[in-house]
Amino acid sequence: MRKLIVFLFFLICNEFYSQATVDLDVIIGKSQSNLVGDSIRLEVNTYKAFKKMEAAAKRDGIYLKIVSAYRGFERQRLIWNNKYEKFTNDFSLEPEKAISEIIRFSTVPGTSRHHWGTDIDIIDGNFPDEENVLVSEKFEKDGLFYKVKNWLDNNSENFGFFLTYTNDKNRKGFEFEPWHYSYKPVSVKYFRALIKMDLKKIIKSLDVNGSDYFDQSFIDAYIAENIMDINPDLK
C-alpha cells in the first residue's frame, strides 16, 4: 500500500512537472524562449534530432531541406489576413467560404503547430529553383520529391519525426500534407498543453480578418477537426 501511494505521488508530481515546464506563450506563438537557430528556427531538442536525421539522410544520398520551421503568431496572422483578402477580393468568396478555404491548409493564428518549433515542412534540397513546393503530387511516385518522401517514410519515425496530417481518408481537418513532420517527444507535450487551454476563448478573441464569422459552430468544428484530428501517434 505504501509503495502504491509513493508511486501515485510520483506520477502526480511528474504530471505537474511536465505541465509546468511548458511555457503557454510558446504554445500560441508569442514566445521564442524554446528556440535555437537563425533563419530556420527550431525547438532545441527538435533541432538536435533533425541534425541527426539530416546526417543519416545525407549518408544515404538524400538532401533534406526544411522550407518552414518555427513561425510566430504575427507571421501566421499575416498569412491568414493575406489569404482572406485574396479569397474575398480576388475570388469574390463569401466570408464563411473564404474561411473554409483558408483552413484547408492554414491555421487560425495562435493554433499553428509551427508556433512550437517542433513541426517542419521538408522537401528535397536538390531543386532550389522549384516553385510551389508544397504540392502533394510532387511527393508521390514519379514526383520531384518522391526520393526524399520515400526515405522519410522509411526512416523519420526512428528519429522521432511523425507525419501530422496523414493520408487517412477518415481524418478530418487539414488536408494530407506529405511534407509536414512533427518531433513527437516534444510536440506531444505541447499538444496536450494546447488542448488544455481555453481554445474557444482564444479563438473568439482573435483580431484577424473574418474573425467576426468565428461563431460557436465554426470554433467547435475547428477544434474537433483541425486541431484534434491528427495522426493518433502525436496525441
Query: For Zn ion, which residue of 83, 138, 180, 184 counts as binding (CB under 5 A)?
Result: 180
Closest distance between Zn ion and the C-beta of residue 226, in Å? 13
Binding flag, residue 121, Zn ion (CB under 5 A): yes
Binding flag, residue 115, Zn ion (CB under 5 A): no
For helices 73-85 and 95-102, the axis angle rounded to 10 degrees is 130
Binding flag, residue 182, Zn ion (CB under 5 A): no
Residue 189, judged by CB atoms within 10 A of its CB (0-12, 13-18, 19+), counts as middle
Of residues 125-164, which lie at the interface with Zn ion (CB under 5 A)?
none
Binding flag, residue 229, Zn ion (CB under 5 A): no
172 vs 204 by CB, closer to Zn ion: 172
Reading the block at residue 101, the C-alpha cell is 478555404
**Nearest residue by C-beta to Zn ion?**
180
Closest distance between Zn ion and the C-beta of residue 181, in Å? 8
* Alpha helix (H) residue ranges in the chain: 2-20, 24-27, 44-59, 73-85, 95-102, 146-155, 184-196, 199-204, 216-221
Largest pairwise CA distance in the chain? 69
Residues forming beta bridges with residue 162, ordered by sequence position: 182
Q: Which stretch binds Zn ion (CB under 5 A): 154-162, 174-182, 188-196, 222-230?
A: 174-182
Reading the block at residue 229, the C-alpha cell is 484530428
Q: Would you say 55 and 65 are in contact if contact means Cβ atoms under 8 Å apart?
A: no
Q: Which stretch binds Zn ion (CB under 5 A): 70-78, 79-87, 175-183, 207-215?
A: 175-183
**Which positions from 35 to 64 touch Zn ion by CB under 5 A, shown as an x/- string?**
------------------------------
Binding flag, residue 65, Zn ion (CB under 5 A): no
What's the start-to-end Cα distance of the chain, in Å? 32
Binding flag, residue 178, Zn ion (CB under 5 A): no
Site of interaction with Zn ion (CB under 5 A): 121, 180
